[in-house]
Amino acid sequence: MLFRSLNINTVSITVSPATLPSGTVGAPYVATFSASGGSGPYTFSIYSGGLPPGMSLSNGQLTGTPSSFGQWIITVRGTDSNGNYGSMVYTLTILPVGIGPSSIPSATVNALYNVQLAIDNPYGTYTFEALNDLPPGMSLDSSGLISGMPLSQGSGLVMVAATSDIDPSFVINKDYTFQILPKIGRAHV
């Protein structure tokens, strides 16, 4: 009986980075992949999973402007010039952009009121505006400060928009229920 030996050369390809940075809806995203352990040049592909809308993988770079938030599980495969490959599983997190706080406190008639609105997970700066009238005596400035001294009690809806200074087509809207309480009087003895 004749035995032949078979030499199998296994090359271990390591795909980097170890993790991907989080991204934000509406903000440009770039992550660069590299590989080691084989013979370059390397090519990269999505082996399993899918990318967020607005993103793609090309020439070892994951780029784009994500239009949805959430988490995506992807497997990126790096292949060397000899066809050897290795893979890395990633969780890609895209954060939402929103206006905070989630609600605003009540105001009181003839009492000073100041509440600062802000953008959660901002990319750049935003300009705020009210899409409807605020209660008499109240205003919203472009930095997101609701301030003033309300003149009468009541409640209503305040609709706010924040526009990205980097990309004016990116607008975030939020509605707040606004409550104005009656003036607190002095007790007479």
Is the CB of residue 72 less than 8 Å from the CB of residue 6? no
CA neighbor of 156 nearest in space, from 135, 140, 182, 141: 135
Beta bridge partners of 91: 73
Tell me how far apart the alpha carbons of residues 60 and 77 are, in angstroms, rounded to a whole number.
10
Q: Which residue has the tokens 């999505």?
A: 46
User: What is d(CA 40, CA 155) in angstroms, rounded to the nearest whole number?
Assistant: 66
Give me the mean pLDDT over the 28-42 stretch: 96
What does pLDDT average to over the chain?
91
> What tokens appear for 74 in the block?
């992807």
What is the per-residue pLDDT across 108-142, written as a single tens digit (0 to 9) for each?
999 999 999 999 877 788 999 999 999 999 999 99
Vertex 186: Cα angle to 181 and 189 (nearest 5)? 145
Look at 10-14, 116-120, 164-168 and tell me which has the smallest mean pLDDT.
164-168
- Spatial distance between the Cα atoms of 168 and 138, rounded to a whole number of angstroms: 26
In the predicted model, what is the mean pLDDT of residues 164-169?
Answer: 84
Question: What average pLDDT does the segment 156-180 reach?
Answer: 90
Q: Are 32 and 60 in contact (CB under 8 A)?
A: yes
Backbone angles phi, psi at 20, to 5 degrees: -105, 140
Predicted pLDDT of residue 167: 80
Instruction: State pLDDT tens for residues 16-29.
Output: 999 999 998 888 99
Q: Are 83 and 98 in contact (CB under 8 A)?
A: no
CA pseudo-torsion sign 165, 119, 170, 27: positive
Can you give the pLDDT at residue 170?
Answer: 83
Q: Report the predicted TM-score, pTM, of the whole model to 2 decimal places.
A: 0.71
pLDDT at position 57 over 70 = yes
